[in-house]
A and B are shown apart, each in its own frame.
Chain A
Amino acid sequence: MWKRVLKMLVGLYLPLLALTLYLYYSQKEKQIETLEGYQIRETTMKKISFEEQCYSFLNDTHYWSTLKYPKDFDPTGKDEEFIKSYLELIKEITDYDQFRFIDLNGNEFFRAVRKGTDSLVIGGLQNKQKQPYVKAGLDLEPNQLYLSQISLNRENGVVEKPTKPVIRVVAPIFDVDQTKIGLVVINFKMKRILDKMKSKIEDTNVYLLDEDLRVISSSTLTDDLPYESDDKNGSMFGILNTNAITQKNDTSYVENDHIWSKQIIALNGTTHSFGLKSNGTSEIITPSNWLLVLEIPPSLIKSYLQPVSESLLIFNVITILGLLGFSYVFQKNIDQKEQFYKDLESKNILLTISKEKLEENNVMVTEINNSLEIRNKQLSDFNYLISHNLRAPVTSMSAIVEMIGKEKNPDVLVQLLPKLDKVSKSITNLTKDINEYVSILDKKEIKLTDINIKDLILEVKNEFTETLLDDSEFGVLLNLNAWDHLYFSKFYLQSIIHNFISNAIKYRRDNVSSHIQFKTSFENNHKVLLVSDNGIGLNLDKHGDNVFKLYKRFHRNISGKGMGLFLVKSQLEALNATISIDSKVGAGTTFKLIFEK
Chain B
Amino acid sequence: MMKKSNILLVDDDDIYLYIMKNTIHQLHNELTINSFTDGEQAVEYITKCTEEKVELPEVIFLDINMPFLDGWGFLAEFKKLKPKIVKQVNIYMVSSSMLESDMKRAANFEELTGYVVKPVTKEQLTEIFKKIYHENW
Contact = CB atoms under 8 A, between A and B. Distances in A.
A46 to B, nearest CB: 133
Interface in B55-110: 64-65, 67-70, 72-73, 76, 95-99, 102
A553 B13 contact: no
Interface stretch (B16-24, B28-36, B126-134): B16-24
Contact of B13 (A387, A396, A398, A546): A396
A393 B67 contact: no
Contacts of A400: 15, 19
B19 A396 contact: yes
Contacts of B68: 553-556
B96 A395 contact: yes
The contact size tier of chain B is 20 to 34
**A contact face: mostly helix, strand, loop, or mixed:** helix
A321 interface: no
A394 B117 CA distance: 13
B18 A551 contact: no
B96 A392 contact: yes
Contacts of A383: 99
A545 B72 contact: yes
B98 A393 contact: no
B77 to A, nearest CB: 8
A542 B15 contact: no
Contacts of A76: none
B22 A395 contact: no
A419 B15 contact: yes
B118 interface: yes
Contacts of A422: 14-15
Contacts of A543: 69, 73
B119 A399 contact: yes
A395 B40 CA distance: 25
A419 B96 contact: no
Contact of B99 (A387, A392, A545, A546): A387
A287 interface: no
Given A400-B19, A543-B73, A387 B14 contact: no
B18 A392 contact: no
A552 B67 contact: yes
A392 B65 CA distance: 10
A433 to B, nearest CB: 14
B97 A399 contact: no
B19 A392 contact: no
Nearest to B67: A553
A548 to B, nearest CB: 14
Contact of A387 (B15, B69, B73, B96): B96
A562 B38 CA distance: 14
A391 B16 CA distance: 12
Contacts of B18: 419
A190 B14 CA distance: 170
A388 interface: yes
Contacts of B19: 396, 399-400, 403
B15 A391 contact: no
Contacts of A423: 15
Contact of A391 (B14, B72, B76, B97): B97
Interface in A398-428: 398-400, 403, 419, 422-423
A374 B98 CA distance: 23
A555 B68 CA distance: 6
A528 to B, nearest CB: 30
B57 to A, nearest CB: 23
Given A396-B16, A543-B73, A387 B97 contact: yes
Nearest to A554: B68
A260 B67 CA distance: 136
B97 A542 contact: no
B67 A391 contact: no
Nearest to B70: A546
Interface in A549-572: 551-556, 562
Contacts of A555: 68
Contacts of A542: 69, 73, 76
A340 interface: no
Interface string A354-397: 00000000000000000000000000000110011101111111
B15 A396 contact: yes
Contacts of B69: 542-543
A395 B67 contact: no
Contacts of B119: 395-396, 398-399
A388 B94 CA distance: 11
Contacts of A419: 14-15, 18
Nearest to B15: A396
B40 A556 contact: yes
A393 B13 CA distance: 8
A543 B39 CA distance: 12
Interface in A154-193: none
Contacts of A546: 70, 73
Nearest to A390: B96
Contacts of B99: 383-384, 387
A554 B73 CA distance: 12
A566 to B, nearest CB: 13
A543 to B, nearest CB: 7
Given A387-B96, A403-B22, A551-B65, 17 more contacts: A384-B99, A387-B98, A387-B102, A388-B97, A391-B97, A392-B16, A392-B96, A396-B19, A419-B15, A422-B14, A422-B15, A542-B73, A543-B69, A553-B67, A553-B68, A554-B68, A556-B40
18 contacts: A387-B96, A388-B95, A388-B97, A392-B118, A395-B118, A396-B13, A398-B119, A399-B15, A423-B15, A542-B73, A543-B69, A546-B70, A546-B73, A551-B65, A553-B68, A554-B68, A556-B40, A562-B67
Per CB-CB distance, the 5 closest pairs between chain A and chain B, nearest first, are A391-B96, A553-B67, A396-B15, A387-B97, A392-B96
